[in-house]
């Protein structure tokens, strides 16, 4: 009887630990940029990065990291995809000044993307007329 209680307790602990390991991977991904892009007003050079986001709903706060250093932080929206993304990728749009603005991040094997939202201050800076 005592042995079955210990076995049950160990099984419960193992399930809790495995669930937390899987949950930790859900909000992380990798990003390889081929071009210099602007993210919420912050320039990000080409290279390999880690992307992390926090939040439980479709609106999250995302961070691009190079090692442990934060390169850019921005609001994002998680958008469901009809089918899993075939590979890690990103989308950008060309700006009038020739710069590229990051608009979305796609994670290989996942059925969602992060749609980059611009803060009001960055949007105003990008749309204000130049003199």
pLDDT tens digit sequence for 85-117: 999 999 999 999 999 999 999 999 999 999 998
Q: Is 17 exposed, middle or buried, given 0-12, 13-18 or 19+ CB atoms closer than 10 A?
A: exposed
Higher pLDDT, 24 or 81: 81
Beta carbons of 112 and 79 less than 8 angstroms apart: yes
> Can you give the pLDDT at residue 6?
58
Q: How far is CA 72 from the centre of its chain?
A: 11
Per-residue pLDDT, 56 = 81
Which residue reads 């992390």 in tokens? 52
Give domain limits for the chain.
Answer: 28-127
Q: Strands 42-44 and 59-66: what pairing? A: unpaired
* Three-state DSSP class for residue 30: strand
Residue 85 DSSP class: -
pLDDT digits (tens, 9 = 90+) for 16-74: 444 433 444 469 999 999 999 999 999 999 999 999 999 988 999 999 999 999 999 99
């Amino acid at each position: 009887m005592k042995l079955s209680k210990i076995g049950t307790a160990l099984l419960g602990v193992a399930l809790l630990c495995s669930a937390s390991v899987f949950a930790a991977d859900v909000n992380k991904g990798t990003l390889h940029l081929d071009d210099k892009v602007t993210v919420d007003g912050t320039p990000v050079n080409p290279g390999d990065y880690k992307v992390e986001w926090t939040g439980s709903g479709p609106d999250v706060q995302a961070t691009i990291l190079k090692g442990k250093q934060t390169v850019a932080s921005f609001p994002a929206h998680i958008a469901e995809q009809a089918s899993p993304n075939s590979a890690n990728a990103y989308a950008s749009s060309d700006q009038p000044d020739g710069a590229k603005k990051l608009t979305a991040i796609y994670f290989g094997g996942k059925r969602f993307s992060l749609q980059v939202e611009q803060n009001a201050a960055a949007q105003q800076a990008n749309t204000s007329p130049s003199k």
